[in-house]
Chains A and B, each alone.
Chain A
Amino acid sequence: MIRPITLPLSLLALASVLAMVISVGVGSVAITPMEILSVFLGDGADLQRTLVLELRLPRTLSAFATGGLLAVAGALMQVLLRNPLADPYVLGLSGGAAVGALLAMLAGLGGVIVSGSAFAGAMLATLMVFGLAHGTGSWTPSRLLLTGVVVAAGWGAVITLMLAISPARELPGMLYWLMGDVSYARSPWPGLGLLLIVCFIVAPLGRSLNVLARGPMQAAALGISVRPLEWLIYILASLLTATAVTMAGSIGFVGLVIPHMLRMVLGNDQRLILPACALAGGTLLVLADSLARIVIAPEQLPVGVITALLGVPTFLYLLYRSR
């Protein structure tokens, strides 16, 4: 029972490490592998130390954390709603975060306040969707999904309105934020910490999640207290999304595609899928961000463009191959 889980996870962990090595190794300034090694051994020229330790390493870790958070959030949402389309972005969480961030930018605030405002927006969106989906009747996954989609459309309209009436000089910053960009990430540690904590929280829940994925009736029949579990999943997923969006703006696609890809290859065992999502999501974003930095350097691309360009063909290929 141990081996089938260990092997894929080890391979993914290896891939993550490789991706990080590549990400730290490449950039618009050429630094040889030997020079990078000497920097990590506490040596090396001042400029190289700054580039590697102050720019590349934090950015690589931020990208990894953001990708991992989004992929795990997507996987949790798909279990919760038993719907392949579920992802934090479809449910309006990122829309709420974006409105929060743009409001702060419109008020002429920057940095930490934009991040805090984005976090508040995502949490507000969560409460709204969850509260409204409860309504007066019973709470069903399809009702939650529909509520989320409609609320997301509402956020979308608010974003368009804000872009239309905002001063022209604020527009570029807002548009780039909406596209998502890891260069805005300041510190990777909150994201990495949360990713680790959540992996520890969901690890013992794997068996329950597997049952829940088959439907709440079966889960209840098998002695799982469905409602608290669903609440926990939803809150965790929101927290993950809010943190990811706060770190790097709204990067779509990772949360939707990574869990599906892994399920096609590894099967639908949540004990395996959730940690695998953390590793694969992180790897994808680290690679995408490396490309975003160097493809048309010195101009920098938004990382969201690259995740989609890398992920779409891979996903379609896997979908085509699967039965």
Chain B
Amino acid sequence: MVKLKGYIVMLGWVLLSAPASASSVCATDDLGDEVCLARPAERIAALSPGATELVWAAGAGDQVVAVVAYSDYPPAAKEVTSVGSHTRMDMERLLQLQPDLVIGWVTGNPTEQLATLKELGIPVFSIEPRSFEAVSHTIERLSVLAGTEAEGFAEAERFRQGIAGLRAQFAESKPVPVFYQVWDEPLMTVNNDHLIGEMIQLCAGDNVFGHLERLVPRISTEAVVAANPEAILAGGMGEENRHWLTRWRNFPGLTAAARDNLFFIPPSLVQRPTPRMLEGTRLFCDKLEVARARRP
């Protein structure tokens, strides 16, 4: 009798677990939590513009059912239903879309709302890539959860190889003192720990404010003049707005202004941790090469 009971229990165990484990997928998110899905996600909600790009890069764009404001890349993302901004989501609309996987943003989304989603039994995978390698690793993990490993791993490798290629190409180049302007009023830059700082270093740029303590330091115009960078790179609001650079023409004593090394970099290529950073880094490196060529 006991044996029979054990047998039934075992049989039940096998019947219940076998189909699930055969197709279940797991990945560890940037909070260190392991997220497991019984089957690859089919309805993904991406709660930051960066997450949207990364899910598309992982080859799972077709599975995205919800995005947040400013999710403008790839263009197909604009067609997906928005559930508010990344700082305050419309929870009703999000739940109505019945996602089976939510991609959260560690420091961008309200932790309270992510906790509510978890309580309601929706798997939340929180990401925040802070290095080149993390971008590739994130794409790989997302593709595992979405069941699109072939595309995801290929894209992650393409990015990895691209960055490695640039790194090798500029390893021996002469350093160029650089100032990168994130914002105009107030004047803000990045230090060496920031991803943009890493991009500058990779192109053999020497970030004049790289040693500062804060990730995104606020600085004065005087500090820039005193540091006298050889090139100034600026983002700006929108993709074609170059007026942030014109202020530096008032300082002819600045090497960057004297040699006209004032370069515009489209912010969307460098300010989101996505594969488009490869294009942005290439642009950085090209501009610094121009600056090197203008040396007397």
Interface residues of A, Cβ cutoff 8 Å to B? 27-29, 47, 50-51, 54-56, 108, 110-111, 164-165, 167-170, 172-173, 176, 181, 183-186, 293, 297-300, 302
Contact = CB atoms under 8 A, between A and B. Distances in A.
Interface string B58-101: 00000000000100000000000011111111111101101000
B173 interface: no
A186 B115 contact: yes
B92 A28 contact: yes
Interface in B87-138: 87-93, 95-96, 98, 107-108, 110-113, 115-116, 119-120
B216 A183 contact: no
B95 A47 contact: yes
A184 B109 CA distance: 11
27 contacts: A28-B93, A29-B95, A29-B96, A50-B95, A51-B95, A55-B92, A56-B92, A111-B111, A167-B216, A168-B188, A168-B216, A183-B113, A185-B112, A186-B112, A293-B92, A297-B84, A297-B90, A297-B93, A298-B82, A298-B93, A299-B69, A299-B85, A300-B84, A300-B85, A300-B88, A300-B89, A300-B90
A169 B90 contact: no
Contacts of B90: 28, 293, 297-300
B37 interface: no
B98 A47 contact: yes
With a 10 A CB-CB cut-off, give which of B86, B90, B92, B113 has the most chain A CB atoms. B92
B214 A167 contact: yes
B207 to A, nearest CB: 17
Contacts, number: 87
B20 to A, nearest CB: 21
Given A111-B115, A176-B87, A183-B110, A29 B120 contact: no
Contact of A164 (B83, B108, B115, B218): B218
Given A29-B96, A51-B92, A183-B112, 20 more contacts: A47-B95, A54-B116, A55-B92, A111-B115, A168-B182, A168-B188, A169-B107, A172-B86, A172-B87, A176-B87, A176-B88, A181-B88, A183-B113, A184-B112, A185-B112, A186-B112, A298-B90, A299-B85, A299-B88, A300-B85
